[in-house]
Structure formats: C-alpha cells, structure tokens
Amino acid sequence: MQRIMTRSKAMIGIALAGLLAVTAAGCAGGDDGSNGSEGGGDAASTFVYAASADPITLDGAYVSDGESLRPIRQIFDTLVTTKPGTTTLAPQLAKSWKPDASSKVWTFNLEEGVKFTDGTALDADAVCANFERWFGFKSPAQQTAAYYWATVFTSFKDKAKDSLFKSCEATDATTVVVSLTKGSASFISAMTMPSFSIASPTALEKYKADEVGGSPEQPQFKGTFGNKNPIGSGPFMLESWNRGDKLTLVRNDDYWGKKASLEKVIVRSIPDGTARRQALESGEIDGYDNAAPGDIQPLKDKGFQLLERPAFNVAYVGFQQEKKPFDDPLVRQAVAHALNKKALLKAKYPPGAQEAKEFVPPTLNGFADDVPTYDYDPAKAKQLLKQSGDPNPTVEFWYPTNVSRPYMPDPQANFQAFKRDLEAVGFKVKPKSMPWDSGYTTTLQAGRAPMYLLGWNGDFGDADNFIGTFFQGDQPQFGVKKSSKMTELLNAAETETDPAKRTEIYKDANREIMKNVPGVPYVNVVGSIPLDKKVKGYVPDPLTNERFNTITIEE
C-alpha cells in the first residue's frame, strides 16, 4: 500500500465534487539502452526515468505500490482521472458521469470509438467485464493482492452481501451503469486510481491474468498478462521488461487522447539513491523521484531542475494489535513516546517535511488539531512499560529493503534510528527485513508483522483514502475489526454527502484512532523530483498521477 503533495486547506475532497454531474470533453490525454543514445530511437524522443524498485506486476488490479502504478498509468486508462497537478476530477474514458439522488447508482457515458491496443473495442461491455472480474476474485492470494478493491468495495462475490458493489450494466455501447449497495461519497474519486484501470477482456483471458497462485503473503502471477502482455488503451504500450534492469514503453500511435511526443519511455530499476543521483549526473537517466535531502542543493547548483511535489502522504510505525505485546495499549503508547521523530526528520528528511501527529495530512479535510498526541518522552515510555507488567518486552520490527519511498527515502536508516530509541527505554528489538518487491506490502496486509515501517501516498483527495483504507472494516495489517468504533465512524463518514458533516465525522474518527494508537505516524513529506534541464512538460502531481505523454525533450 502505497501510493505525495500540497493543497489549499479550503479544497474539499474530490469525492464530494463527484456527486455533481460532470460533463466535459475527454482529456486523456527488443530492448533499447538506458537512454536515447543507446539502441533504437532518437535521444530527443526518449525519456529515461529511474525507479527505486521493479514493479510487482503491470496488472493494476493486483498492486498498491507506487513503483508498479507508475508504468500502469502510462499503459492504461481509467473511467475518470484528475486534472494534471491537482486532485480535481476530470474525464478520461467516461466523458461524463452522474449519480442518482441516493448516490447508489452511477451512470457513465463513455468516449466513442476507443480501442485497446490489441484492436478490440473499449465499450460498455468491456468496462463491465472489468468490474465483474474484480468482484469475482476467488482465491486468498487474489483477494489479498486486490487491495484497493477490498478497500473501496469491502468484499468480493463470495461475500456479496458485505460488498459495496452490486452490479454493472451496459445499457448500450457507450453507457455504463454501476449500482452500489449503499450510497458512497468516495466511490467516484476512487475510480481515478490505476488499480481500477480498464484492461482488454480478450487479453485478460488470453494471457491468463487470473492464474494467481502462491499465498496471500507471496502471490505468484502465473499468466503473462502482467509481465509481457498488459493490454490497455493508454498513450504507451509495453515493449519489453527485464526485471532488475529496465522496462521499456513505446508510444501508442493510435491513442484516442493526447498523443505522446516521446517515442519511448525507459524505466530503469536503481534501488540505491546515490546511484540514481550519479546516473542523472552522468546523463544515463533524465530524472527520478525522491531526491535525498542532502542531494537537493548540490543538484540545483549543477543546473538540474528540482520540481516539488507537495506533501500528501504519511509515514508510520504500525502495530498488529492482535500480536503480543501490541495487544496491550500501554505498550503501543510506550513505543509512541519512545520514538524521537524530530531527530529523525532533522537527520534524514528534506526541508519542508513536517512531523505527523495523525494518519491524514494537515491539508486534508477531516484533519483534527486536537487528537491525542504522544510527544518524545523516554521516561514516560519506561513508566508505561513498567505499568504493562513487562519493562523489557521483545518485539519483532519489520522494515523493507531495496526501495525508497517519498515518505521513507532510506528505510534502513529509519529502522536503525527507531531501534536505538526503543532499546533506550527497555525494548528488545528483533530486526526483520524483506525486499519491497518480494511481497513486503502483501505480507504486512496479511497481518504477519507485529511492528513495521510503512507509509501511504494519497491516491485521491479524501480522508477515506487514508484512514478509511487503514481502519475501516477488518484490517489484518493493524489487527482492526469491523466491529470497532473506528469502523463505525468511518462507515458513517463514507455515506454522508454533506461536506461539513462529513468533515466533522472524520475529525471524530481521527481522535478515536489516535486514542487507540494502532500505529505512530511520524512524517508528512514534500517530494523532490530532479530532472535534466532538457526535460519539459513534467507536471508534479499530488497523487503521483503523472502521465508521460505531456513530456518533451529539448536538446
């Protein structure tokens, strides 16, 4: 789970804007080498971008991490999107949409004549086939990997009575009617996420997209749809992908929206931050995300562009509250008081990073100024452990390797700093590391990690995307049950369509969450995107919803 960013506090969540009918014109817009000078293609028509990890798969239904979603955004389209650089809803495959009075029935009017890159029609039947596919995931591995479906719609067809999704009907070739089991104010904004990208039903079947084995913690994608044949309708298509090296996209010359100027996009996997910076300086790449704090000014001094993505994220230490010793709230509070967040931010984060005190960023409606807080206080942490009956509890502390996230540029450094803080107050820490692209997030989502480092980049401008994702319903990652007061409040907020009332419910939910301490949020981070000065048209997006068909390379 992943998914960065700054908005005016006056901005109302885009989910509520979606309750109004919207009508507008659609506005979607063999390996080559590591840059345009290597292999086929003109250097001026190739953009080389460095990622911190490989994608898990290019099937959006099965991922929630940013490194997978970045190329998926280029290959596929969604029903609705956001205006570049904002959280404001905009048309994509659906040129207009409208809910009924109850917000249970949503009618989408599709663009005409759109085709997938395999030549099949992207029509209402194709859209409904995707909804029915997501709803019909059966195996535990599929259902765990389909994190966003479970988050937005609660459950799958095998537990249909608990699901937000009821049906999808193609009333004609360009009209889709999605029916929900209850009104939802956040449904429409969720449809902007790449996890709800519309894929070719023909390709999904042909390339066995739903042959998923393994376990919920380690799903194995046996078909070739997600790694060789991801067929969408977006501005780019997959040419090749060599794991651990690079992924190459080529322009879709038949794209129905804004066609790309670039002929190729190459996404190189460079896990080490220093190596990414050096690759930019040497001209091997044209840009990357999440420059290290110490690299920002030196890169500026060398003439590179440093674009800023406003803070719309949160990093946190999470607890699985069903695992000892975190079933005891005194122990969770002790961790919260033991962590020296300010020292970590000063040492490891860029200017503009803010200490977090709750699980939503302060620019989001529903942020509460008066949540319970847990200031750095080692003496208080020791006292709480003593009260718990075990002044020296042993804790297994998980952290990811081979990755850099906007909210966590150097996971190992964060782990080491927090480990020292915890040991200073009496905890015995057992380190547990796992590569990011080997199932770290799915392992956490399955509830295996007692304590862990993770974070979240917002996917859409609504509190539901943060605390609804984390704490609504049964959430094994945190050991939260659907019978909790947190879920009760979040359910009420999700169906409330009055913006003012909804904001107040979310404030109450944030107070309840921080009273319970299911984790310790510690930072909201501004992202820095270093680019070669020849790169033009790159629009930093608060939701990391950057599409590369806006980019040009000027020599």
- What is the domain-level CATH number for residue 441? 3.10.105.10
Residue 286 reports pLDDT greater than 70: yes
Q: Which ranges in 350-410 belong to alpha helices (H)?
A: 378-388
Q: Give dist(CA 391, CA 413) in Å, integer.
A: 26
221 and 81 within one domain:
yes
Residue 70 lies in a domain: no
Token pair recorded at residue 460? 């859409």
318 and 427 within one domain:
yes
- Average pLDDT estimate for 456-463: 84
- Average pLDDT estimate for 516-538: 95
Residue 15 lies in a domain: no
- pLDDT reported for residue 43: 55
92 and 221 within one domain:
yes
Other C-beta atoms lying within 10 Å of the C-beta of residue 301: 8
What pLDDT band is residue 457 in, cutting at 50, 70 and 90? confident
Residue 368 lies in a domain: yes
Q: Note the pLDDT tens digit of each residue in 135-170.
A: 999 999 999 999 899 988 989 999 999 999 999 999
- pLDDT reported for residue 28: 31
Other C-beta atoms lying within 10 Å of the C-beta of residue 208: 15
Residue 7 lies in a domain: no
Its domain, for residue 505, covers 313-525
Residue type, 256: W
335 and 297 within one domain:
no
356 and 471 within one domain:
yes
Residue 381 reports pLDDT greater than 60: yes
Residue 494 reports pLDDT greater than 90: no
Q: Which residue has the tokens 């009104």?
A: 183
Q: Note the pLDDT tens digit of each residue in 2-54.
A: 332 222 333 333 344 444 434 333 333 333 333 333 334 455 699 999 999 99
223 and 276 within one domain:
no
Residue 178 lies in a domain: yes
Instruction: Indicate the residue among 206, 228, 250 that finishes a domain.
Output: 228
Residue 466 reports pLDDT greater than 70: yes
- pLDDT reported for residue 29: 33
Q: Is 463 left (phi over 0), alpha (psi -120 to 50) or beta?
A: alpha
What pLDDT band is residue 404 in, cutting at 50, 70 and 90? confident
Residue 497 reports pLDDT greater than 80: no
- pLDDT reported for residue 458: 86
Q: Give dist(CA 164, CA 157) in Å, integer.
A: 11
In degrees and rounded to multiples of 5, residue 214 shows phi and psi of 75, -155
214 and 81 within one domain:
yes
Contact 93, 105 (CB under 8 A): no
89 and 177 within one domain:
yes
Report the interhelical angle of 378-388 vs 329-338 (nearest 10°).
160
494 and 458 within one domain:
yes
Q: Which ranges in 123-245 belong to alpha helices (H)?
A: 124-135, 140-145, 147-153, 187-190, 201-206
Domains identified in the chain, total number:
3
516 and 428 within one domain:
yes
- pLDDT reported for residue 10: 30
Token pair recorded at residue 185? 């104010």
What pLDDT band is residue 242 in, cutting at 50, 70 and 90? very high
Instruction: Indicate the residue among 228, 263, 279 that finishes a domain.
Output: 228
What pLDDT band is residue 461 in, cutting at 50, 70 and 90? confident
Q: Note the pLDDT tens digit of each residue in 329-339.
A: 999 999 999 99
Residue 486 lies in a domain: yes
CATH code at 224? 3.90.76.10
What pLDDT band is residue 459 in, cutting at 50, 70 and 90? confident
- pLDDT reported for residue 544: 85
475 and 537 within one domain:
no
Burial state string for 170-194 with b = 16 or more CB within 10 A and e = fewer than 16: beeebbbbbebbebbbbbbbbbbbb
Q: Give dist(CA 149, CA 469) in Å, integer.
A: 11
- pLDDT reported for residue 42: 58
333 and 466 within one domain:
yes
Q: How far apart are the first and last CA of the chain?
A: 38
Contact 510, 471 (CB under 8 A): no
Residue 487 reports pLDDT greater than 80: yes
- pLDDT reported for residue 18: 42
Residue 196 lies in a domain: yes
Lowest mean pLDDT among 33-47, 113-127, 169-183: 33-47
Lowest mean pLDDT among 223-227, 301-305, 351-355: 351-355
CATH code at 292? 3.40.190.10
Residue 27 lies in a domain: no
- Average pLDDT estimate for 460-470: 88
Question: pTM for this one?
Answer: 0.72
Residue 86 reports pLDDT greater than 50: yes
Residue type, 95: K
Report in angstroms the alpha-carbon separations of 107 from 18, 171, 208, 252: 12, 10, 30, 29
Instruction: Indicate the residue among 181, 200, 228 that finishes a domain.
Output: 228
Residue 78 reports pLDDT greater than 90: yes
